[in-house]
Structure 1
């Protein structure tokens, strides 16, 4: 009912309500820019790849599994042409998921890459990715 009223009366919807949980999680992940990678860490100061996605989505009330593969298996799979900011990006080799980040739009991803690196925004470096949505 509220959605119908907001649609019928432009400008009456609260802008914050229009933001998806994925977009909120994206903002949280971005706020962790520079946090160091640590295998098995899920925040709030250190992260591995799936720990960052787990942390960001938990902050917006979404419960994700712990590993990248499990996150993929539980997500709603989205074709690349339908991806949107806030979707998860799953990097794969064959059928094996080895990394996850949060899609930022314009072929970029927020992620915690590997030891010696920190949470960062990077251009997608491969087409061997799948997308998932929560």
Structure 2
């Protein structure tokens, strides 16, 4: 077996490292050329951990495990427990425009399914119609189960279900079903309104609440 001179081995390693770096840079460059995600990925702005104003090429995503461990138990506790059970069932379901199943679901389809399965409450299919459900409430009045609406850039509005302590559950365009913080700079920027579609009379009729 022929041994290569030490300088040849070193040069080969340097060349190899340069090739790998070029490939990685090419991937990053292909994202930065676009600046933002395609129109259907309308949550692109920043990631948790980035300082406000820093750009990223993905939707804002909060680690569901970290979110769950941070959420305290607010009243009404049973509503939140019902939502957490639904999150465990749906977590990781991919996002798909027009989808309504665990093979793929969009934000309004997800909210409609949760309300139907957890609270026996029928909501309209689209965000456009859901925003007229229940009654308008101030952001400071939010309770577990309330609907939260956002107006991000692009052709679509977005809806999720408030979990308590500043967290909401929703179907993200890039990460599927997750729990996110409303304190995220992106969601704060595009927050629109909140609505209470679960009234005490309806919850009382379910027996378990």
**Which of 80, 93, 112 lines up with 1:54 in the alignment?**
112
SS in 2 for 1:126: helix
Q: Against the structure 1 CA distance between its residues 132 and 24, is the aligned structure 2 distance closer, same or farther, given a 3 Å change threshold?
A: farther
- What is the TM-score normalised by the length of structure 2? 0.48
Structure showing the higher strand proportion among its residues: 1
Summarize the alignment of residues 1-134 of structure 1 with structure 2, pairs less than 5 Å apart. 19-20=78-79, 23=80, 26-31=83-88, 32-59=90-117, 60-92=119-151, 98-114=157-173, 116-124=174-182, 125-127=187-189, 128-134=191-197
Structure 2: gaps (5+ residues)? 1-75, 198-209
- What is the TM-score normalised by the length of structure 1? 0.73
Q: Distance in 1 between matches of 2:104 and 2:111?
A: 12
Structure 1: gaps (5+ residues)? 1-16
Structure with bigger gyration radius: 2
Which of 1 and 2 has higher RCO (CA within 8 Å, sep 6+)? 1
Count of matched residue pairs: 113
What value does the CA root-mean-square deviation take over the aligned residues?
A: 2.4
Structure showing the higher helix proportion among its residues: 2
1:52-92 Cα offsets, whole Å, 9 max, x none, are 10000011210000111211112221111111111111113
Q: Against the structure 1 CA distance between its residues 49 and 34, is the aligned structure 2 distance closer, same or farther, given a 3 Å change threshold?
A: same
Q: Against the structure 1 CA distance between its residues 29 and 68, is the aligned structure 2 distance closer, same or farther, given a 3 Å change threshold?
A: farther
